[in-house]
Structure 1
Amino acid sequence: MGDAGDVAAPVRRPGPWRVARFAALFVAAALVGVVVGTWFTGAALPSLVRDAGAVVRWGLPVVETLTEVVGAVVVGALVLAVCVLPRRDDEAVSRRGVRAGVPRADGSAYPVSLRVAAWSAAAWTVTSVLHLVLSYANVAGRSPAEPTFGDELWLYVSQIEQGRTLASAVVLAAVVTALSLVVRTPTGAAWTLALAVVSLWQLAQLGHAAGAASHDLATSAMFVHLVGAAVWIGALVALALLVRSVGRDLAPAVARYSAIAGWCLVAVAVSGLVNGWIRLGSWADLGTRYGQLLVVKAVLLVVLAGLGLAHRRRTIVGLSATPEPRTWLFWRLVLVELVVMGAVSGVAVALGSTAPPVPEDPPAAPTPAYQITGHELPPELTWAQWFTQWRWDLVLAFVAVAALVVYWRWARRLARRGDAWPWARTASWTVGMLVFLWTTNGGPSTYGHILFSAHMVQHMVLAMVVPVLLVLAAPVTLAMRALPVRSVALAGDASRGPREWLLTLVHSRVGQLLAHPVVAAVNFVGSMLVFYYTGLFEWSLRSSVGHLFMVVHFTAVGYLFVNSLIGIDPGPRRLGYPQRLLTLFATMAFHAFFGVTLVSGESLLVADWFGLMGRPWGASAIADQQTGGAIAWGIGELPTLAVAVGVAIAWARDDERGARQRDRRTRTEDPELDAYNAMLKSLPKS
């Protein structure tokens, strides 16, 4: 034990001119890609109606490319600070020492990553302002030099949805800049990263996603695409900018980045396929300028996938082979990869500026349902339609599939090292995520925007059925056993990987508060009242962000509540079994009250939504709402009864264990004899 791990050969770091050269190559490739793509598709040709000028026509795609590039660097640098770059903890090293053969964390690059994020966010703010100005100039066909342009721009920002979205992106970029300058911990970096991701969500609603016939799917696919590309590209660019500071932490940092890049590749590929499927009417449309540009982007993506595979198979192994990092191995692949990434970014912007083969115009005579929801009415609801009608949300579908893959990999990892994990828990998780996938993308999602009763089915399944299945799977317990501890592989590393972040969330004050049985119960029953009798319900219907909030909130609240009753995952201080049953009976009474209120109510919730749908089939809106109340009562009671049975069984088993322990003590000890002997010893000797 000692500090021998601190002794290492001097690290040869590349000069700043080399780092700047590679960054310039990346930006240049992006600009060349967007210019060539825009020229190829003719997206910058003069408008026949009102033309804002060549500066606006060519400047908009160039500025949009720069905005995406620097935004990706912001996201990437924050991802490095949140979960990739090692952080040195000298106190832990002095307390525990360094085991022989275990390298010691350098940690020099971590604070630099936050400075890179801050400077990139400042550039992001500037380019976002330019993007806003040029976007209005292009839409209105007005030159920014015209005297009234400023007043018109203010009206665009304050009254037009697209203008408000672009303005919010500017504000968020400025806030991210300020926060990146002051945060110092992974938690602060995580909150800053969350704001940057919110900005990407805003941008996902623009362009072709805003006008596509499948608006919800297009928006979610574009969000997955933007986030995946930003993390993938931005983290690599940020890592290249930080090479001079990373030092001997380069090998673990590249290995951690590689794992993240693999998930990003899947996200970008799947969302790209979905976007192409939405905007191409047939295989013949691949012959159009838009289709040809899409093929070029797909080929470049395949090249990037091959380079990423080479990273994993050669570069990471080579970097880990010697104590001194061989940075030339890193640069050998990064040079080509960054150039290809830049070209992909430019081509993507050119695609966004080009009209797709499938027209984006709304129907000539839209139905009331289309005007309200953006979708035509589905067929009349029958039992078969619950399972044959699907309206995909790529964000939630990706979460469900990723959760399945991760859980299976953790269970397989335990099996490989000889540890047992009950197959019933794996089966429970699998069924739970499949039910979650169906609820958020199948019949309940399709009809949940049309019928209040179908919405209530979706809500009750998310809040009452899915959480029971997930709690029985004990995912946190499995993660604690399967995920590695970072400080074991790299001494003194205080960074947070998946295991460390999970522990941070479970043991944080907020996590402990929300997981407390009483708080979880109050949140479980109270949030339902707040949701349906305030504007949150309408927000969830009209906004994709609101719908995502509803899904995440009620699934998480249901998990915390059920886990406090029958779960084995760490977190809550569980009540005694009698108190748990009393809590369950109280929630059953509330569900009965809530359901009866809806069944007997005559006031329609969100009347200008459900009441104006123009359905030619099914019951009236108020009758359907009363049916939804009955569903809330029925579906809410059945899982609660099942949980109550589980609590009773656990109580009986706990009593049996206690009886067996008392019985074992009785066999080895005789309490009455011991008491008699103690009494004899206490008597005075005669």
Structure 2
Amino acid sequence: MPRLLRIALPAILLLAALAALLVGLAFGGGADPSLIESLDPGPVVRYGLPISTLLVNLAGAGALGSLLLACFALDATRTEYNQALDIAAASAAVWTVAAGTTGFFTFLTVYSQPVRFDEAFGDTLASFLTTTEIGQAWLTTTLVAAGVTALCFAVRNQTLVAFVTALAAYGMLPPTLQGHRGGTANHDAASTALFLHVLFAAAWLGGLLTLVLVRGALEKGRLAVILRRYSTVALVCFVVVAVSGYVSALIRVETIENLWSPYGALVIVKVLALLALGAFGAVQRRFVIRRIEKPGTSERPWFWALVAGELAFMGVASGAAAALARTATPVPEVPTSELTDPSPAEILTGRPLPPPPSFENYLTMWNLDILWLLICGFGILFYIWGVIRLHRRGDRWPWYRTVLWVLGMLVLLWVTNGGVNVYEKFLFSSHMLAHMTLGMMVPVLLVPGAPITLALRAIHKRDDGSRGIREWLLILVHSKPFAILANPIVAAAIFTASLWVFYYTPVFSWATTNHVGHEWMIVHFLLSGYLFVQSLIGIDPSPQRLPYPVRLVILLATMAFHAFFGLAIMSGTGLLLADWYGAMGWDTGVTAIEDQQAGGGIAWSVGEIPNAIIALTIVFLWSRSDERETKRRDRQADRDGDAELEEYNRMLAERAKSGRPV
């Protein structure tokens, strides 16, 4: 690939993005001067802020995409891997500068004051960066980007690079929690959708850009291999970007009529660019990769023309996105402080009280969490894909495992998106129902599905030194941290200790009142429960298996702690988070303390049902194990003429002859 082409293709991306941004700003009025002259930060800031934001997006994408390819597509022993990390380091350096500049321009926009070189200006800037949410967001992003820059230079170990990739992904979170987040009732959904949109668009764009830049370091035949791997990642990114983009547009546009607003028009531009990128991806997967994989063929000029077109449309989408961030939405974003007569629930949660809880409402009402909607969707899709792949090559996979896995994912979907999620912020009992279902019932359904075993059997083993999902899973299950966490005693300790630590420390308040804390809570309950159930009845590979009697004792001890926790909540007279659950303004005839005590009853009763199922399963597996051991001994006796019994009888006879006690 000529050096000129490697320079021209990124230039196409940047020029298309800048052109789309400037057109979008002019059309949407995102850079128009303020009607109040004293509040206008000036043209440098008005245009500099969206341009620096665009550079943040593009540079962050370059860092994340190259790190992702280094983790999942490139061989750490080849030049391609080191070059990808060099690209990540350079991109992260630009990301750092752009994020710092964006934070500074944001400060000038918010405070509407000229730049000065005195102590008062510095104190005001420091206060903005450390005490305001938006200032803290850009400071965090800048520091994370700087950390990624340093680590990309210092770290070359592929396992450590995976942690650097996770850090880069985290660096994209803080800015998405600011900006356009939807109206009062939708800010959590809008924030989640925006984060997913930015994260997966960055991986998509950055991966393609990295492919272009490392092409010169690829050995013969490597382009098709890496392109196929990138294509799979790009397909997942396309689905997530499309779904999250739809949710974001639905929140901020709402009606068809609003599509004719400047904001709606820019959304249409993004949709058209996304459709074009989908078409490029389809052509790439169906025709381009197959042509390149044919023996004796290599990429042609038309291939790089296709890549140039894809980068151009990515640039248009990126520029339109940066312009959208500076364009007023047709649906007003009204903070709670500006509502005329907010209810206590709206002041606390940002949402009005839902209808009184009922069995029907729990089954029929929905409060979508797009993150878990996508996780459950992909979880079912990839599992069934693995089963189909096994069947196509003639391998068997028990049908009940598939049924249990799909059922577990559907229950997880209901807990995170259904009626439980509607009431969880308002009622302690609903929160406890979610906790018990996530920590106990869902793992009891998912663990027998043996997803790791299925993945290890269905995913092809790589032979080029790179690490795919299969290789990373093997590293995980053979790692020392996993060996410690998968120990039944440790898993049980984590599971039981989490109950007390979570509810009787400030963690409970953070997880209840903060959206990021709420998502962390779901992950923690799910993983701690999964590790506990896996350590007792799991089918997937495990570093160690304790004898069945010991597992049963551990379970019974855990059940006792669990029941004691439920009884403590039931009999407690002090209200947990009294300034939250006790201040919602419910008028249903049930007080907050009564609802909390009902939650304790749920912890005691509902939580024990999965424990009973686990106990019965352990007993069943124990009996099956004894049966297998008996059959093994019988087969051994048939093979050697019952030599073991004959030897035992001979030993007894010798003892009798010698006068020793038998």
**Which of 434, 440, 453 pairs up with 1:477?**
453
Matching residue of 2:52: 63
User: 1:246 and 1:330 mapped to 2: Cα distance?
Assistant: 16
- Structure 1 residue ranges without an equivalent (≥5): 1-12, 89-106, 488-492
* CA distance in structure 2 between the partners assigned to 1:675 and 1:455 by the alignment: 61
Which of 16, 41, 46 is the matching residue for 1:52? 41
Instruction: Indicate the residue corresponding to 1:337 in structure 2.
Output: 310
Deviation at 1:69, TM superposition (A): 0.6
Structure 2 match to 1:629: 600
Q: Within the alignment, does 1:43 sit opposite 2:30 as a pair?
A: yes
Query: Quick one: which of 129, 147, 151 aligns to 2:123?
Result: 151
SS at structure 1 position matched to 2:330: coil
1:8 — aligned with what?
Answer: none
Partner of 1:232 in structure 2? 204
Write the distance in 1 (CA, Å) between the matches of 2:491 and 2:584.
Answer: 36
Q: What is residue 614 of structure 1 aligned with on the other side?
A: 585
Give, as a single letter, the amino acid of the residue that structure 1 aligns with 2:166.
Answer: A
Contact 2:182–2:252 (8 Å) recurs in 1: no
Identity rate, percent: 43
1:247 partner SS: coil
Residue 327 of structure 2 corresponds to residue 354 of structure 1:
yes
Distance 1:677 1:600 in 2: 65
Q: Of 503, 508, 512, which aligns to 1:541?
A: 512
Q: Per-residue CA shift, 1:366-405, capped at 9, x if unaligned? A: 1111111111111111111111222111111111111110
The question of whether the paired residues in 2 share the 8 Å contact of 1:380 and 1:618 is answered with no
Number of residue pairs the alignment of both structures matches: 647
Correspondence for 1:662 among 625, 629, 633: 633
Q: Residue 660 of structure 2 aligns with which residue?
A: none
Deviation, structure 1 residue 679 = 10
Post-superposition offset of 1:572 = 3.9
User: In 2 relative to 1, CA 327–514 (structure 1 residues): closer, same or farther, beyond 3 Å?
Assistant: farther
Q: Deviation of residue 674 (structure 1)?
A: 5.7
Q: Partners in 2 of 1:139 and 1:625 — Cα distance?
A: 43
2:17 pairs, out of 1, 10, 30, with: 30
SS in 2 for 1:574: coil
For residue 313 of structure 2, what is the amino acid of its counterpart?
V
Please identify, of 147-156 and 294-303, the stretch whose mean Cα deviation from structure 2 is larger: 147-156
Q: Is the deviation greater in 211-220 or in 174-183?
A: 211-220
Q: Which runs of 5+ in 2 are unaligned?
A: 658-662
* Counterpart amino acid of residue 529 in structure 2: G
Q: Is the 8 A contact 1:209 1:215 kept in 2?
A: yes
Task: Report what 2:554 is aligned to.
Answer: 583
1:413-452 to structure 2, matched below 5 A, reads: 413-452=389-428
Report the 3-state secondary structure (helix = DSSP H, G, I; strand = E; otherwise coil) of the residue aligned with 1:326.
Answer: coil
- The answer to whether the aligner puts 1:457 opposite 2:433 as a matched pair is yes
Matched, 1:316 2:304: no
1:96 matched residue in structure 2? none
Give the conservation status (yes or no) of the 8 Å contact 1:75–1:230.
Answer: yes
The residue that corresponds to 1:643 in the other structure is 614
TM-superposed deviation, 1:279? 0.9
- Per-residue CA shift, 1:52-76, capped at 9, x if unaligned? 1111111111111111111110110
| Whole-Å separation in 2 of the counterparts to 1:23 and 1:667 | 72
Separation in structure 2 between the aligned mates of residue 539 and residue 139 of structure 1, nearest angstrom: 28
**In structure 2, C-alpha distance between the alignment counterparts of 1:644 and 1:560, rounded to whole Å:** 16
Which AA in structure 1 matches 2:14?
Answer: V
- Equivalent position of 1:574 in the other structure: 545
Task: State the TM-score, normalized to the length of structure 2.
Answer: 0.95
Q: Give the equivalent residue in structure 2 for 1:265.
A: 238
1:79 aligns with 2:52: no
Greater displacement, 341-350 / 149-158: 149-158
Q: How does 1:593-604 map to 2 (within 5 A)?
A: 593-604=564-575
2:407/2:445 contact within 8 Å kept: yes
- Which secondary structure does the structure 1 equivalent of 2:181 belong to? helix
Q: Distance in 2 between matches of 1:195 and 1:670?
A: 62
Shift of residue 651, structure 1, vs aligned partner: 0.9
1:247 equivalent in structure 2: 219
Q: Does 1:296 align with 2:269?
A: yes
1:4 corresponds in structure 2 to none
Change over 3 Å in CA distance of 1:620–1:673 after alignment to 2: closer
Alpha-carbon displacement from aligned partner over 1:189-247 (angstroms, at most 9, x marks no partner): 11111111112111211111165540111011111101110000111111111111123
Does residue 89 of structure 2 align to residue 118 of structure 1?
Answer: yes
Give the drift of 1:546.
1.2
Partner SS, residue 545 of structure 2: coil
Report the Cα distance in structure 2 between the residues aligned to 1:234 and 1:189, rounded to whole angstroms: 16
SS in 2 for 1:608: coil
For the 8 Å contact 1:200–1:227, the answer to whether it is kept is yes
Task: Measure the CA separation in 2 of the matches of 1:404 and 1:343.
Answer: 33
- Report if aligned partners of 1:506, 1:570 keep a CA contact under 8 Å in 2: yes
Whether contact under 8 Å (1:604, 1:621) holds in the other structure is yes
Q: What is the deviation of 1:530?
A: 1.1
Q: Secondary structure at the match of 1:353?
A: coil
Q: Say yes or no: does 1:166 pair with 2:154.
A: no
> What does 1:362-373 correspond to in 2, within 5 Å?
362=335, 363-373=339-349
The amino acid that maps onto 1:67 is V
Cα RMSD over matched residues?
A: 1.9
Return the offset for 1:676: 6.9
Instruction: State how far apart, in whole Å, the 2-side matches of 1:570 and 1:326 are.
Output: 42
* Residue aligning to 1:9: none
Looking at structure 1, the residues matched to 121 and 16 of structure 2 have their Cα atoms a distance apart, in angstroms, of: 33
1:402 paired with 2:389, answer no
- Give the TM-score normalised by the residue count of structure 1: 0.91
Q: Retained in 2: the 8 A contact 1:143–1:149?
A: no
Which of 42-51 and 138-147 deviates more? 138-147
The structure 2 residue matched to 1:135, chosen from 81, 106, 109, is 106
In the alignment, residue 388 of structure 1 is paired with which amino acid?
Answer: T
Measured after TM superposition, the shift of residue 19 of structure 1 is 1.1
Residue aligned with 1:573, SS: coil
Question: Separation in 2 of the partners of 1:194 and 1:678?
Answer: 63
CA shift in 2, pair 1:618/1:315, >3 Å: farther
